[in-house]
Structure formats: C-alpha cells, structure tokens
Amino acid sequence: MTVRTRIAPSPTGDPHVGTAYIALFNWAFAKHAGGEFLLRIEDTDAARSTPESEAAILDSLRWLGVTWNEGPDIGGPHGPYRQSERQAIYSEHADKLISDDHAFVCFCTSERLDEVRREQQSAGQQTKYDGHCIGLAKDEVAAQIAAGTPHVVRMKVPEEGECVCSDALRGEIRIPYAQIDMQVLIKSDGMPTYHLAVVVDDHLMQISHVLRGEEWINSMPKHQLLYEYFGWDMPVHAHLPLLRNPDKSKLSKRKNPTSISYYRDSGYLGEVLANYLAMMGWSMPDEREQFSMTEFAEQFSLDRISLGGPIFDVEKLNWLNGQYLRAMTPNAFMDAIAEWALNRDRLAQLVPLIQERTERLADIAPQVEYLLGDRIPLTESSFADSKLETDQLLAILHHIGRRFDEQRSWQRDELYQVCKSLADDMEIKLRDFLYPLFIGVSGRTVSLPLFDSMEFLGPDVCRVRLREAIEALGGISKKLGKRLDKAFDQLDRAAQ
Ligand code: GLU
C-alpha cells in the first residue's frame, strides 16, 4: 500500500499556524514512508471561501517548505482538488446512500427545527434531529422535490448501541449512537457538508492515513458509519493535539498571532517556523531542538507524539529564530534580509507612501521604522496628548478590536469606514477617536497615513499592536471586558 496523506484547508481566512502544523505532520508521515502528500481545498462554504485565502494558504505552506504531489495548482490523477468543483460526485454518492436506505431527504423548515430544539432543551434532552422525515413515502418525496420544496439530505444513524472507533494515537474511542445526530450530508444549496465530502474524497483520493486536529474526534462515528454504508475501508485516523496559548487555552488570535503571514512579515524564517511547529507535541529521538524538515521526515513516527496540549510560545520561537539567524553565513543573512523586507513586492507597497515625503534617501529609514521593525514600546504616557480619559481610550481600542475581529478584508478604505462608523456610533470626534489607534499602530504622533500603514502591516500585526496599546493603558480586566463587550453589542444593535 502506498501511504497517502493530505491536508484539507478551508480557504476562509488567513493561513493559520494550526493548518501548517497539521500539514507538516501529514507531509512528514508520507515522506517518511516514501508515500505521497496531497493538498485539497475544502471550499464548500461558498459564502466564506475566497480565492485570495486559497492563494495565501498555498503560498504560506510553500514558504514553510511543504511540498505536495497533487493539488489544485498542479493537478493530479484524483482531481479536481477543490471540493466546489466536485459537486456532481457528492450528489451521486448521496443518491446512492438514499437508494440503499442509509440516508433520507428532509424537508423540515428551520422554524420547525428551532421549535424541536427548544422543546428538547426545555425537557433537558440532548438537541438533535427528531427523525420527522425519515419515514416519508418515496412518491411523497418525489412530489415535494418536483414542487421545488427546499430540502436537505440527512444520514441515518442506528438508534441503539455504540460506535467503537479506533484512533492511532488514542486507541479505542466509544461513543453511543444515541449521542449522534442525523447529520445533514447535502445542504439545501446542493453543496455537501464537510462530513460527506471528507469521506468521499478521502476514499476516492486513496488516502491511507488521516492525521487531523482533535476537534474532529467527535465526528468519527459519523464518518465511520459513512464508510460502512458505502462499503469502503476506512483510512487510519489519528487526531493530533490542538495548539495552545501559554495559558493552555486553545490557540486564538486574540491572545497570539495565528496567521502564518504574521510570522513571515515579522521576520521569522520559514524553516524556523517549520522546525518550531514540528516540535509541537513531537520530539526528535535524541531530543534535539534544531532540525531540518528533511531530518524531521526521516525521524518521524506517530509514537513520538505526545497528547498533552502543545504550547505555542512566541518567546521560544524567537529564541529559535535567533539561533538560526546567528548561525547563517553573512551571505545567507544578506539574502534573508532582502527576501524579507527589501524585496520588490514589499517595496512597491511602501514607495507610494514614502516617495512624496522624501527629500534625501536618508529620510526613508526613520519613516518606515515602525513598518519594517517593531515600534517603540508604549507606556501610558505615550497617550498623554489625547483629549480623552483612559477609560474612553480603552473603550475605543476594545471596540475597534471587536470590529476588526469581524473584518475580512484589510484594505485602507474599508478600515477607514469601519473606524468612521464606529466613531459616529460612539459619538466621538473622528480625530480624537483615531488618536489611540494611531499611537497603538505607529507609536508616534507623526507617521505615515494610518490606514495605509495598517494595510501594509496586515491584520495580525495590527491586532498585536492594539493588544499592546491596551496593556500600556493598564489593560482590560475580566469585569471591564464584560462591560465593554456589552456596550459594544448595544452599539452594534443600535447601528443596525
Ligand atoms: N477542512 C477541514 C479543516 O480545515 C479539514 C479537516 C480534516 O482534515 O478532515 O479543519
């Protein structure tokens, strides 16, 4: 058997370090066994998937040194490699499940489903589909479909017994069928859900081993049932531990930058981030901390994975990056600098901002200092020129943070609009409102235009700087955070 693994990211945002970590482990597992690794794009959520996000994910994986044998960019014998292009395959498979009596068409409206959920909740029961449409006669189903009634396809689940699944890292996992919902397989827009698509694709793409995040453990029974219904062998599954913040909570962008682009833009080397991610829950047999991806693949084995939540600690990453940078030859170091910030793409973004403000080339360095490196550390006195009180400044920064969390594109004009409308909602003069953001982002009162700077820095760096600005102003306690969240939600509702 050829070992075949895959990474299956959903292109719905910035390329996440968690995706890179799972990708690296799958890649190393396949390489170690002389097998193949492929990349599949799970873009069945049409509203949230974007080509920009797909491109950014591919780019950042390449930057980390991950290569794939098949994928949307290079094709391969099992394509297409984008789920949105495989709809006919999923419909065909859903039809097969219906005709074999393993799935059924469901016409329940969302009002009915809400009602059922409410009743179950008030009776203290687990909320799940109640099987209302399971017994509909074939001609009734056909008539409703012909009449254009919106519908989904759901899988059947045994009423009794328990599902016994096996995880290569965790052994046997037992989950009673009673806890498992009759999962929607095809949505009313005709697109498959993750659960149908992942099983069909892993089978058709001949995946032998699925290494994925532990958040999918509870989906195993559904997937195992689908493999049984189709009469297919199930690939070996292993659920890797999730990355954690230093406080052990699940890695989140509120506490740690999570976008790979952040690490690239902040001057980490791709090979260092890859090396660091390879140490997340895994260690070299000789416990060495510095190793290349080739060495990682050579030594990789599942039994060296430990399940305790691996901590993604930026301090440790900094240390490792420093080790690599200092060990470089002067030539390689020069290349790294040029590759990082002084390449033509990055300069092309800066030139429109700085050219018109420059008399001598020597003026450039101080202008771009906060864009290329860090800005000066902030203290409360950095905000001394503001007309507003500290609690107002904190409220502004907190609310901006909340709006930015929802912000999907990161362009100057849109960022301006977000701030402008928030300033209006908070009834604060735009100038006063923007001041703490200005200081937070650039650390100075005179800088290049704020929104251009933010676009250049990207969402993750801006988020980190906002967080640091809040800390400099004394921070937001749990209690204050709750109050500010409430105030923000009220503003949001009033604005609608
Ligand atoms: N699209 C899923 C995700 O990004 C893939 C999970 C899997 O590997 O099966 O989390």
Residue-wise pLDDT for 381-390, tens only, equals: 999 999 999 9
SS3 461: helix
The answer to whether residues 236 and 90 belong to one domain is yes
Spatial CB neighbours of 130, under 8 Å, sequence gap ≥ 6? 116, 120
Q: What is the model's pLDDT at position 150?
A: 97
| pLDDT tier, 47 (very low <50, low <70, confident <90, very high otherwise) | confident
Q: Closest ligand 1 atom, CA of 212?
A: 8
In a domain, residue 92? The reply is: yes
Closest CA to 312 of 251, 356, 261, 393: 251
Which residue has the CA at smallest separation from atom 3 of ligand 1? Answer: 9
Closest CA to 290 of 317, 260, 258, 259: 317
Lowest mean pLDDT among 99-113, 207-221, 397-411: 397-411
| pLDDT tier, 102 (very low <50, low <70, confident <90, very high otherwise) | very high
Q: Closest ligand 1 atom, CA of 22?
A: 8
The answer to whether residues 383 and 305 belong to one domain is no
In a domain, residue 348? The reply is: no
Give me the mean pLDDT over the 144-171 stretch: 96
Pocket test for ligand 1, best of 198, 199, 223 (most atoms within 8 A of CB): 198
Q: Report the distance separating Cα 113 and Cα 158, nearest Å.
A: 21
Is 253 noted as a catalytic residue in this protein?
yes
Q: How far is CA 435 from CA 336, 413, 470, in A?
A: 35, 18, 13
| pLDDT tier, 425 (very low <50, low <70, confident <90, very high otherwise) | very high
Task: Give residue 84 CA to ligand 1 midpoint distance, Å.
Answer: 15
Q: What is the model's pLDDT at position 235?
A: 98
Q: What is the model's pLDDT at position 406?
A: 80
Share of the chain above pLDDT 70, in %: 100
In a domain, residue 445? The reply is: yes
Task: Give residue 391 CA to ligand 1 midpoint distance, Å.
Answer: 41
Which residue has the CA at smallest separation from atom 5 of ligand 1? Answer: 8
Beta bridge partners of residue 237, listed in sequence order: 167, 210
Task: Point out the domain boundary residue: 240, 257, 285.
Answer: 240
Q: Closest ligand 1 atom, CA of 42?
A: 1
Pocket test for ligand 1, best of 10, 17, 39, 209 (most atoms within 8 A of CB): 10
The answer to whether residues 397 and 314 belong to one domain is no
Q: Closest ligand 1 atom, CA of 7?
A: 8
Pocket test for ligand 1, best of 4, 22, 38, 42 (most atoms within 8 A of CB): 42
| pLDDT tier, 186 (very low <50, low <70, confident <90, very high otherwise) | very high
Task: Give residue 105 CA to ligand 1 midpoint distance, Å.
Answer: 26
Task: Indicate whether 345 pLDDT > 90.
Answer: no
Give me the mean pLDDT over the 233-249 stretch: 95
Give me the mean pLDDT over the 302-307 stretch: 94
Q: Report the distance separating Cα 108 and Cα 151, nearest Å.
A: 7
Q: How far is CA 243 from CA 153, 173, 238, 278, 443, in A?
A: 34, 22, 15, 12, 31
The answer to whether residues 421 and 285 belong to one domain is no
Span 347-381, pLDDT tens digits: 898 999 999 999 999 999 889 999 988 888 899 99
Task: Give residue 68 CA to ligand 1 midpoint distance, Å.
Answer: 17
Task: Indicate whether 409 pLDDT > 90.
Answer: no
Give me the mean pLDDT over the 332-354 stretch: 89
Task: Give residue 126 CA to ligand 1 midpoint distance, Å.
Answer: 25
Q: What is the model's pLDDT at position 266?
A: 87
Peptide bond just before 436 cis, omega within 30 deg: no
Spatial CB neighbours of 57, under 8 Å, sequence gap ≥ 6? 9, 11, 15, 19
Task: Indicate whether 253 pLDDT > 80.
Answer: no
The answer to whether residues 97 and 192 belong to one domain is yes
Q: What is the model's pLDDT at position 346?
A: 86
Give me the mean pLDDT over the 139-155 stretch: 96
SS3 157: coil
Task: Give residue 9 CA to ligand 1 midpoint distance, Å.
Answer: 6
* Alpha-helix residue ranges (DSSP H) falling in 123-205: 138-146, 194-204
The answer to whether residues 112 and 231 belong to one domain is yes
Which amino acids bring their CB within 6 angstroms of ligand 1? 8-10, 42, 198, 212, 216
In a domain, residue 349? The reply is: no
Share of the chain above pLDDT 90, in %: 84
Spatial CB neighbours of 470, under 8 Å, sequence gap ≥ 6? 394, 397, 398, 401, 476
Pocket test for ligand 1, best of 200, 212, 218, 222 (most atoms within 8 A of CB): 212
The CATH number of whichever domain residue 33 belongs to comes to 3.40.50.620
Lowest mean pLDDT among 47-56, 138-147, 287-296: 47-56
| pLDDT tier, 13 (very low <50, low <70, confident <90, very high otherwise) | confident
Task: Give residue 10 CA to ligand 1 midpoint distance, Å.
Answer: 7
The answer to whether residues 38 and 137 belong to one domain is no
Q: Report the distance separating Cα 134 and Cα 236, nearest Å.
A: 31
Using an 8 Å Cβ cutoff, are 27 and 37 in contact? yes
Q: Is the pTM of this model over 0.75?
A: yes
Q: Report the distance separating Cα 365 and Cα 368, nearest Å.
A: 6
The answer to whether residues 147 and 189 belong to one domain is yes
Pair type for strands 36-39 and 4-7: parallel
Which residue has the CA at smallest separation from atom 4 of ligand 1? Answer: 9
In a domain, residue 347? The reply is: no
Task: Point out the domain boundary residue: 318, 349, 381.
Answer: 318
Active-site residue (options: 31, 156, 248, 253): 253
User: How many C-beta atoms lie closer than 10 Å to residue 41's C-beta?
Assistant: 25
Span 454-481, pLDDT tens digits: 999 988 889 889 999 999 999 999 999 9
Task: Indicate whether 495 pLDDT > 80.
Answer: no
Task: Indicate whether 23 pLDDT > 80.
Answer: yes
CA end-to-end distance (rounded Å), the chain: 57
Which residue has the CA at smallest separation from atom 8 of ligand 1? Answer: 212
User: What domain count does the chain have?
Assistant: 3
Span 395-405, pLDDT tens digits: 999 999 999 88
The answer to whether residues 233 and 313 belong to one domain is no
Task: Indicate whether 202 pLDDT > 90.
Answer: yes
In a domain, residue 16? The reply is: yes
Type of residue found at 333: F
Q: Report the distance separating Cα 38 and Cα 30, nearest Å.
A: 10
Task: Give residue 301 CA to ligand 1 midpoint distance, Å.
Answer: 21
Which residue has the CA at smallest separation from atom 10 of ligand 1? Answer: 9
Task: Point out the domain boundary residue: 299, 318, 337.
Answer: 318
Q: Closest ligand 1 atom, CA of 6?
A: 8
In a domain, residue 339? The reply is: no
Q: What is the model's pLDDT at position 168?
A: 97
Task: Give residue 22 CA to ligand 1 midpoint distance, Å.
Answer: 10
Q: How far is CA 330 from CA 265, 339, 476, in A?
A: 21, 14, 44
Query: pLDDT averaged over the chain?
Result: 94
Using an 8 Å Cβ cutoff, are 353 and 449 in contact? yes
Q: Report the distance separating Cα 55 and Cα 123, nearest Å.
A: 47
Spatial CB neighbours of 118, under 8 Å, sequence gap ≥ 6? none
Q: Closest ligand 1 atom, CA of 215?
A: 10
Which position has the higher pLDDT, 77 or 461? Answer: 77
The CATH number of whichever domain residue 424 belongs to comes to 1.10.10.350
The answer to whether residues 12 and 128 belong to one domain is no
In a domain, residue 367? The reply is: no
The answer to whether residues 39 and 147 belong to one domain is no
Type of residue found at 212: R
Structural domain boundaries, residue 251: 4-84+243-318
Q: Report the distance separating Cα 354 and Cα 363, nearest Å.
A: 9
Token pair 């069928």 is found at: 177
The answer to whether residues 145 and 176 belong to one domain is yes
Encoded tokens for 4 = 């075949």
Q: Report the distance separating Cα 440 and Cα 375, nearest Å.
A: 9
Q: What is the model's pLDDT at position 354?
A: 93
Largest CA distance in the chain: 81
Q: Closest ligand 1 atom, CA of 19?
A: 4
